[in-house]
Structure 1
């Protein structure tokens, strides 16, 4: 396969992967879209942040994040709290329910990956993991 064909195949397969991820998110938890799952994961990793930080991190429109956050608040998965350093600022944090749901969905996703990759040799798994890290670590303008 020449490099142009390889890039075309990669683009196609990444699109299939993204579609499958979006579709499976709803099956894992009906109220949790892939975007919601991603936002909850970021809030857990960061220990909380402002909605504008989420928008900037994911290069999303503020109104998109606002709608997602409102839905997460209605579902009692996130809450707003005053920033201890600046009481004018509201910080989004996971609720206990949000942490529980995120943990359930994360474990379901891990189980699905383990099942899908069960027959792969260890060397293939290691290379695949390294390639994904390399691909996801790329920064425009950097090499």
Structure 2
């Protein structure tokens, strides 16, 4: 498990040179905002396994950069939720494509048997890691 976490950290470092305008953690947060930003900071925090203060701080930077916005929630106008701006959506789509190209090259290097084992194993490891948090 520790080896998996170490590889994940190294992967993040190796992906960073692909992005000159956003960091990998910022990209993760943009992805989370797209996935569940309409549910608020707590949902993003749970999705990313980051603390709510960390999410709030990172979101403020992304808002200042024009990549997301805080808007009143539909169900309770006093509560704020996060949404990607058009620029944020475009940036996220472009960066996802870069990451997908890198990962697909690694995936193609696996045999069919390795691929059939990898998917269920990665899903299982994801559950295990999320339970540690």
TM-score bracket, normalised by the shorter chain, equals 0.7 to 0.9
Given the alignment of the two structures, is residue 11 of structure 1 paired with residue 5 of structure 2, yes or no?
no
Q: Contact 1:77–1:95 (CA<8 Å) still a contact in 2?
A: yes
* 2:123 match: 133
Task: Determine which structure has the larger helix proportion and give its number.
Answer: 2
Note the residue ranges of structure 2 that are not aligned, 5 or more in a row. none
* 1:26 match: 16
Select the residue among 54, 63, 88 that pairs with 1:64. 54
User: Which one has the largest radius of gyration?
Assistant: 1
After superposition, the CA RMSD in angstroms is 2.2
Q: CA deviation at 1:140?
A: 4.0
> How many residues are matched?
131
- Deviating above 6 A after TM superposition, structure 1's stretches of 4 or more consecutive aligned residues are none
Select the residue among 84, 89, 92 that pairs with 1:102. 92
**TM-score by structure 1 length?**
0.78
Q: CA deviation at 1:69?
A: 0.3
Q: CA deviation at 1:74?
A: 1.4
| More moved, 111-120 vs 19-28 | 19-28
**TM-score by structure 2 length?**
0.84
Distance in 2 (CA, whole Å) between partners of 1:61 and 1:87 is 24
* 1:7 match: none
